[in-house]
């Protein structure tokens, strides 16, 4: 296995493009190294992207934020302004593993590993994040919910790298929240994860909302019906119940070692309701 | 005169015992200096890797190793052909004896593979990656057979039979058809039918528990080195170096004298390191390759192939009069033994009702084999499984009788003089004291909020003594070297140094305890059954008394007075009786310095089969809060009161109580082996096999109850196991108290709890 740690994106793309065997991007390695050790992949080339500056920064951009794909969960949580803007997304990364894991685990790795249960992804779907992807044919943009196709499978072409995540600008009375259910309080994989982001008018009417749902389908989902149940309402109990019901209805889980289908469908609604409540509370305080 | 008679603990003023001295192994453990099983590296050493069955049950038709053997870097390959057949002969292995015929088949599959992960072949190569690649070149032909996992399934008439030569033991007449039930045992007292006739209130329910793993952090690891002269050395993480010596020597066809086993530092065992797995395989690989061979399991191998404890299928029936006197107690329990016979049904039937003073008892146990790894001991083996059922039933009975659950237990508590259903008449035991301790604890009186519940349960464990051999050497500077044969699995080095120092009248820091290799001491039974502080401690005290006797003799010689005119006090020999005051007392240091001129080195050596272990009882209270919408259970408070007899080092005792409670909480709420429809383990890792993490737990509050064991000079009982016994039932009772529904299946995971809530509403 060859290990390379180029300092430019172009060099990284060139290395990946020239490799005829199995090539993998390495960010924090908290998924990749575990998979190598478990004999799940046996790469010929590993390209470490942590030395590429563009991928390691958090910056304000057009009233929103841009976060490099190799930024770690710990760095996001330590960035006070970003955390104030997107507390739900930071909640997602703050749930990944433990303090040790979070200081390695990157937001790009969490997404590109393509686990339907990845904790930062439902919140990023709710946030309406747009990805910047770079490859041998240049750059393109993609909605975050469109990257993953199935467990372990992304829409990335050969030698493509996710470079950064753009978080949109939004109004003052807005916030987000992420909740997951795990049997243990830490070091566990979401049985269900729900991210809710919402924005209110001056009179408290919900102007915009998005709901992301994880661990209940082959990939994390954008649940438009749930968002529609909130938009235009005062986010009262009836609206939240309707939104929770829509979230449960969108869940398409399977029975597996981490939970039953029936249980996951119910919990999707429970968490949606609770996450919406938290996001609402936060928005009102802004 | 036995030491017990000589020195009853009552009224004794201790100088060392009861202190919380710094742990002697602490610094090396936190700095990484301590050497565990995987930490030894020898020059020329090879790395061993094991090929394991992907099938739960299959005939092993053929194994072709030729391609692996031809690979560069591969130095040896072994299969069933490298191990001689073993006779049908039982060998002691801590709390669960094993049969050599089965040990050899567990170490390397012979006719059949019997569980997912069963070893089929092993390779030693110059690197781990070569060894692992070589495994992929071994061609194995299997004929896959139907499999069975759960004990109730395995007992059915049409269940796949694992062993055609197995006929149920303990039934009359002897059966003619082979069965997965290897044996039936019964514990009886009084007349069970008559007892139920006297009952005014009866509760009866069936309970299930899943197999769970000990969850030690350090995987099995060893380095075996076989010499051309026919001798061998084994460095290994083990609870019993002497047992590993017997097993490995036997399986490798060696004389015991030719094999030296050196125990490494222990990274947890809990009963799981009483049995050999890769050790004989590493030794045979070393013999074939003429090189040392290291074998280290990965976590997946630990889960798939090393001993978990049994899952149980149990029905418990209790009868009582309206005023709370239990008139009859009956338990039927079928335990999974795994691939080979030997589930802990003996201890389970014996301990089932041992907390109580009952007239009429019947406990029947079925040892059931199925396509799972062979079970190993786990902290009070069997007692915890049956206690889940019995102590849940006690709670149900208390509710039905409208008697406070501690009061119902108190009313029926076993005490000194109670004749246990399994035979003995108890000496002093602490059941009532632990019940009272929990009742008096502030935690028991904290008001509960909405969705919160409180549960209580008690537990019993025998504790054991066993073969013990220790040597104490007085060093030339007056410090002491103590050599014991039991690996330190819970603080025994600290406790031994304290007991030795107490006797000698010196400070514990002046006694350095080493764990011997098997060449340095006589046979020691393993560190299991909560025996170490009791049995090795008692033997250490006796060895110290021998050293004192010799030191008095040396002083007598120096002073030229009779030996019996010398007394030993506070680390000094003093002239006594008519000579009192004639000579300046001689300190242990002075005697040590003069030893070469007064007769040579001074030491004490004792070998004995220690008897007189005192049972330890525990009562625990658990408070929970249940999320009514998700079924998640949060543990709010845990109070553990256990009878230590005498706590030598209270912090270690509390640590044992806490650790046991934590393991029980995991068992209660989340831990389970999950098999797919092919009988393959789906969760062989700590991510999906969920032992509790720190954030799942409150501080575990402890109360050390001390009802002295009259058979130990300081009153010590063993304390390493009992505290796990009540936990699962206490959690269950607390959940029932919170949600008003009684669960009967472990683990009480969120989906099950939610379902119970919904079915009730
Ligand atoms: C003990 C433990 C606990 C964990 N707990 C959680 C948890 O609670 N929640 C959770 O969601 N996850 C958890 N994880 C999984 C993991 O930590 C996260 O998914 C993490 O965010 C992965 O990031 P990484 O930087 O380590 O990714 P890596 O392992 O470096 O990469 C993961 C995958 O993404 C690819 N990749 C990485 N970056 C890019 C990029 N920029 N462009 C294209 N491809 C890329 C890699 O090639 C690889 O296939 C846990 C892992 C461990 C070991």
Of B674, B687, B755, the CB nearest to A189: B687
Q: Which residues of B touch A (CB under 8 A)?
A: 132, 300, 629-632, 669-670, 674, 682-683, 686-688, 690, 692-696, 749-751, 754-755
CB contacts, 8 Å: A38 with chain B:
300
CB contacts, 8 Å: B687 with chain A:
187-189
- Backbone φ, ψ for residue B286 (5° rounding): -65, -40
Model's pTM, two decimal places?
A: 0.96
Q: Are B758 and B740 in contact (CB under 8 A)?
A: no
Give B357-401 pLDDT, tens digit per residue: 999 999 999 999 999 999 999 999 999 999 999 999 999 999 999
Location of each CATH 3.30.365.10 domain in chain B: 3-34+465-610, 382-463+614-760
What is the average pLDDT across B738-747? 98
What is the pLDDT, as a whole number, of residue A173?
95
Q: How many residues does the structure list for chain B? A: 761
Fold of A2-115+130-167: 3.30.465
What is the pLDDT, as a whole number, of residue B577?
81
What is the average pLDDT across B642-663? 98
CATH number of A174-285: 3.30.390.50
What is the pLDDT, as a whole number, of residue B591?
98
- The percentage of residues in chain B with a pLDDT greater than 70, rounded to a whole number, is 98
Does A128 contact ligand 1 (Cβ within 6 A)? no
Residue A20 alpha carbon to ligand 1 centre in Å: 24
What is the average pLDDT across B112-138? 97
Distance from CA of B358 to the nearest CA of A (A): 39
Q: How far is CA B447 from CA A89, B36, B396, B442, in A?
A: 38, 46, 22, 10
Q: Are B381 and B347 in contact (CB under 8 A)?
A: yes
Give A73-132 pLDDT, tens digit per residue: 999 999 999 999 999 999 999 999 999 999 999 999 999 999 999 999 999 999 999 999
Q: Is the pLDDT of residue B581 over 90?
A: no
What is the pLDDT, as a whole number, of residue B11?
62
What is the pLDDT, as a whole number, of residue B580?
81
**Contacts of A264-269 spanning 24+ positions with Cβ under 8 A:** A264/A191, A264/A192, A264/A215, A264/A216, A265/A216, A266/B754, A267/A181, A267/A191, A267/A192, A267/B630, A268/A192, A268/A194, A268/A213, A268/A216, A269/A244, A269/A245
User: Domain boundaries in chain A?
Assistant: 2-115+130-167, 174-285
Residue A170 alpha carbon to ligand 1 centre in Å: 28
CB contacts, 8 Å: A267 with chain B:
630
Give B240-258 pLDDT, tens digit per residue: 999 999 999 999 999 999 9
Of A38, A181, A184, the CB nearest to B690: A184
Residue A31 alpha carbon to ligand 1 centre in Å: 4
Structure tokens at B548: 């004192």
Residue A181 alpha carbon to ligand 1 centre in Å: 19
Give B596-617 pLDDT, tens digit per residue: 999 999 999 999 999 999 999 9
Confidence band, pLDDT 50/70/90 cuts, at residue B3 = very low
Domain covering B3-34+465-610: architecture: 2-Layer Sandwich (3.30)
What is the pLDDT, as a whole number, of residue B6?
40
What is the pLDDT, as a whole number, of residue A14?
98
d(CA B483, CA B616): 27
Q: Is the pLDDT of residue B102 over 80?
A: yes
- The percentage of residues in chain A with a pLDDT greater than 70, rounded to a whole number, is 100
What is the average pLDDT across A11-19? 98
* Chains A & B: contacts with CB separation below 8 Å: 48
Domain covering B382-463+614-760: architecture: 2-Layer Sandwich (3.30)
Please, which residues have CB within 8 angstroms of residue A245's CB and are 6 or more apart in sequence?
A: A229, A269
What is the pLDDT, as a whole number, of residue B645?
97
Mutate to test the interface with A, among B632, B674, B684 (most CBs of A within 10 A): B632
- The percentage of residues in chain B with a pLDDT greater than 90, rounded to a whole number, is 95
Give B421-470 pLDDT, tens digit per residue: 999 999 999 999 999 999 999 999 999 999 999 999 999 999 999 999 99
Among chain B residues, the shortest Cα distance to A271 is held by: B630
Does A43 contact ligand 1 (Cβ within 6 A)? no
Mean pLDDT, all residues of chain B: 96
Find residue B455's DSSP bridge partners.
Answer: B622
What is the pLDDT, as a whole number, of residue B578?
83
Confidence band, pLDDT 50/70/90 cuts, at residue B10 = low
What is the pLDDT, as a whole number, of residue B7?
47
Q: Is the pLDDT of residue B584 over 80?
A: yes
Q: Is the pLDDT of residue A213 over 50?
A: yes
What is the pLDDT, as a whole number, of residue B232?
98
What is the pLDDT, as a whole number, of residue B4?
42
Confidence band, pLDDT 50/70/90 cuts, at residue A254 = confident
Q: Are B349 and B332 in contact (CB under 8 A)?
A: no
- Secondary structure (3-state) at B386: helix
- Secondary structure (3-state) at B639: strand
What is the pLDDT, as a whole number, of residue A286?
84
Q: Are B494 and B26 in contact (CB under 8 A)?
A: no
Does A195 contact ligand 1 (Cβ within 6 A)? no
Q: Is the pLDDT of residue B231 over 70?
A: yes
Find residue A200's DSSP bridge partners.
Answer: A206
Please, which residues have CB within 8 angstroms of residue B498's CB and are 6 or more apart in sequence?
A: B16, B17, B19, B21, B508, B648, B649
Distance from CA of B289 to the nearest CA of A (A): 27
Torsion angle (degrees, nearest 10) of CA A136, A138, A143, A145: 0
d(CA B499, CA B497): 6
Compute chain B's Rg from CA coordinates.
Answer: 27
Give B408-422 pLDDT, tens digit per residue: 999 999 999 999 999
More confidently predicted of B5 and B573: B573
């Amino acid at each position: 296995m060859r290990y390379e740690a180029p300092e430019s994106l172009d060099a990284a793309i060139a290395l990946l493009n020239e490799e005829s065997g199995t090539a993998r991007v390495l960010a924090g390695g908290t998924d990749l190294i575990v998979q190598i050790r478990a004999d799940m992949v046996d790469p010929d080339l590993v390209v470490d992207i942590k030395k590429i500056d563009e991928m390691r920064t958090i910056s304000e951009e057009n009233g929103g934020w841009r976060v490099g794909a190799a930024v770690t969960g710990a760095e996001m949580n330590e960035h006070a302004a970003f955390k104030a803007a997107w507390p739900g997304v930071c909640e997602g990364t703050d749930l990944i593993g433990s303090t040790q894991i979070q200081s390695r685990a990157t937001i790009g790795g969490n997404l590109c590993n393509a686990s339907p249960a990845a904790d930062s992804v439902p919140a990023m779907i709710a946030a309406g994040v747009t990805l910047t992807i770079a490859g041998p044919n240049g750059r393109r943009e993609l909605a975050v919910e469109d990257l993953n196709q199935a467990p372990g499978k992304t829409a990335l072409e050969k030698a493509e790298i996710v470079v950064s995540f753009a978080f949109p600008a939004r109004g003052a009375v807005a916030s987000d929240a992420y909740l997951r259910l795990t049997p243990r309080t830490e070091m566990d994989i979401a049985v269900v994860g729900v991210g809710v982001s919402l924005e209110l008018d001056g009179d408290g009417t919900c102007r915009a909302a998005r709901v992301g749902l994880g661990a209940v389908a082959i990939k994390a989902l954008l649940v438009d019906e749930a968002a529609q149940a909130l938009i235009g309402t005062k986010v009262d109990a009836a609206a939240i119940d309707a939104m929770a019901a829509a979230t449960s209805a969108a869940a398409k889980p399977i029975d597996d070692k981490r939970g039953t289908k029936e249980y996951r469908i119910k919990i999707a609604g429970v968490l949606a309701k609770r996450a919406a409540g938290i996001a609402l509370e936060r928005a009102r305080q802004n | 005169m036995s030491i017990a008679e000589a020195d009853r603990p009552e009224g004794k003023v201790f100088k060392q015992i009861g202190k919380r001295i710094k742990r002697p192994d602490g610094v090396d453990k936190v700095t990484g200096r301590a050497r565990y099983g995987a930490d030894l590296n020898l020059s020329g050493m090879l790395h061993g890797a094991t090929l394991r069955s992907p099938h739960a049950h299959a005939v092993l038709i053929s194994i072709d190793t030729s391609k692996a053997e031809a690979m560069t870097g591969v130095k040896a390959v072994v299969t069933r052909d490298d191990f001689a057949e073993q006779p049908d002969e039982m060998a002691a292995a801590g709390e669960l004896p094993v049969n050599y015929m089965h040990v050899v088949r567990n170490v390397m599959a012979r006719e059949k593979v019997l569980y997912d992960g069963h070893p089929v072949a092993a390779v030693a190569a110059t690197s781990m990656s070569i060894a692992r690649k070589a495994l992929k070149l071994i061609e194995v032909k299997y004929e896959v057979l139907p499999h069975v996992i759960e004990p109730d399934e395995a007992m059915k008439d049409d269940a796949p039979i694992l062993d055609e030569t197995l006929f149920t033991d303990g039934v009359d007449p002897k059966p003619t058809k082979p069965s997965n039930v290897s044996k039936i045992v019964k514990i009886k007292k009084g007349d069970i039918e008559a007892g139920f006739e006297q009952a005014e209130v009866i509760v009866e329910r069936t309970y299930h528990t899943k197999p769970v793993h000990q969850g030690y952090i350090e995987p099995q690891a060893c380095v075996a080195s076989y010499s051309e002269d026919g001798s061998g050395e084994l460095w290994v993480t083990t609870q019993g170096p002497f047992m590993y010596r017997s097993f490995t020597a036997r399986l490798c066809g060696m004389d015991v004298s030719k094999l030296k086993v050196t125990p490494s530092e222990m990274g947890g065992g809990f009963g799981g390191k009483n049995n050999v797995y890769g050790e004989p395989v590493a030794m045979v690989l070393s013999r074939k390759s003429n090189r040392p061979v290291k074998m280290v399991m990965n976590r997946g191998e630990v889960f798939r192939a090393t001993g978990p404890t049994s899952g149980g299928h149990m029905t418990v029936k209790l009868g009582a009069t309206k005023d709370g006197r239990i008139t009859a107690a009956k338990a039927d329990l079928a335990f999974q033994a795994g691939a080979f016979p030997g589930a802990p049904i003996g201890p389970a039937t014996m301990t089932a009702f041992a907390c109580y003073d009952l007239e009429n008892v019947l406990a029947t146990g079925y040892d059931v084999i199925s396509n799972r790894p062979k079970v190993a001991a786990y902290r009070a083996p069997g007692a915890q499984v049956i206690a889940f059922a019995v102590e849940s039933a006690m709670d149900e009975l208390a509710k039905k009788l409208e008697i406070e659950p501690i009061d119902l237990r108190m009313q029926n508590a076993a005490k000194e003089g109670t004749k246990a259903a399994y035979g003995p008449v108890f000496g002093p035991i602490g059941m009532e004291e632990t019940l009272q301790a929990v009742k008096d604890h502030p935690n028991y009186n904290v008001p509960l909020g909405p969705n919160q519940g409180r549960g209580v349960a008690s537990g019993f464990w025998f504790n054991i003594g066993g073969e013990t051999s220790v040597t104490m050497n007085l060093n030339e500077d007056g410090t002491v070297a103590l050599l014991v044969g039991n690996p330190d699995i819970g603080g025994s080095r600290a406790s031994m140094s304290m007991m030795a120092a107490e006797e000698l009248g010196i400070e514990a820091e002046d006694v350095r305890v080493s764990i011997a290799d098997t060449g340095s001491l006589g046979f020691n039974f393993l560190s299991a059954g909560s025996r170490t502080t009791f049995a090795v401690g008692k033997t250490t005290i006796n060895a110290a008394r021998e050293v004192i006797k010799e030191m008095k003799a040396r002083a007598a010689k120096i002073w030229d007075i009779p030996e019996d005119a010398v007394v030993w006090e506070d680390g000094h020999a003093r002239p006594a009786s008519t000579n009192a005051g004639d000579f300046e007392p001689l300190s242990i240091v002075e005697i040590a310095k003069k030893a070469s001129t007064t007769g040579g080195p001074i030491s004490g050596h004792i070998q004995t089969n220690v008897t007189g272990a005192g049972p330890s009882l525990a009562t625990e209270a658990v408070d929970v809060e249940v999320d009514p919408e998700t079924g998640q259970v949060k543990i709010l408070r845990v109070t553990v009161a256990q009878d230590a007899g005498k706590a030598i080092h209270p912090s270690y005792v509390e640590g044992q109580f806490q650790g046991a409670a934590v393991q029980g909480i995991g068992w209660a709420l989340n831990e389970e082996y999950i098999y797919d429809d092919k009988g393959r383990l789906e969760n062989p890792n700590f991510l999906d096999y969920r032992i509790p993490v720190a954030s799942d737990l409150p501080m575990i509050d402890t109360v050390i109850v001390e009802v002295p064991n009259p058979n130990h000079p300081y009153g010590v009982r063993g304390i390493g196991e009992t505290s796990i016994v009540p936990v699962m039932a206490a959690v269950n009772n607390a959940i029932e108290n919170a949600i008003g529904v009684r669960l009967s299946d472990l683990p009480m995971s969120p989906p099950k709890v939610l379902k119970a809530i919904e079915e009730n509403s």
